[in-house]
Amino acid sequence: MHRSAPATPGKAHAPAPRIRLARVLACAAVPVMLVAVGCSSDSGGDKKSDSASSSASGGKQASSSPSLAPAKFKKLPEACQSIGAGSIDKYVPKAKTKAGEVGKTSDPQSRASCTWNGLDDKGVQGSLYRWLDVDFKRYDSAQGLGTGDALAQKQFERAVSAAQSTADAKNVKTSPVSGLGDQATAITFDLKKTDADFKYGVVVVRTANVVVAVDYNGTGYQGADAPQTNEVQEGATVTAKEAVTAVATANNK
Percentage of residues of the chain with pLDDT beyond 90: 69
Does residue 14 or residue 247 have the better pLDDT?
Answer: 247
| Range list of H helices, 68-171 | 85-91, 148-164
Q: Which domains does the chain have, with CATH numbers?
A: 29-65 (no CATH), 69-250 (3.40.1000)
Q: Categorize the per-residue pLDDT at 253 as very low, low, confident or very high, splitting at 50, 70 and 90.
A: confident
In whole numbers, what is the pLDDT of the chain averaged over residues?
83
DSSP 82: S
Q: Over range 157-174, report the average pLDDT.
A: 98
| Residues facing residue 202 across a β-bridge | 187, 215
First to last CA, the chain: 30
**pLDDT (0 to 100) of residue 124:** 85
pLDDT in tens, 15-47: 444 434 444 344 343 333 333 333 334 444 454
DSSP 198: E
Residue 122 has phi, psi (to 5 degrees) of: -105, 20
Does residue 14 or residue 86 have the better pLDDT?
Answer: 86
Q: 3-state DSSP: the chain helix, strand, coil percent, rounded to 5? A: 35, 30, 40
CB 198 within 8 A of CB 183: no
pLDDT in tens, 129-146: 999 999 999 999 999 999
**pLDDT (0 to 100) of residue 218:** 97
Does residue 55 or residue 119 have the better pLDDT?
Answer: 119
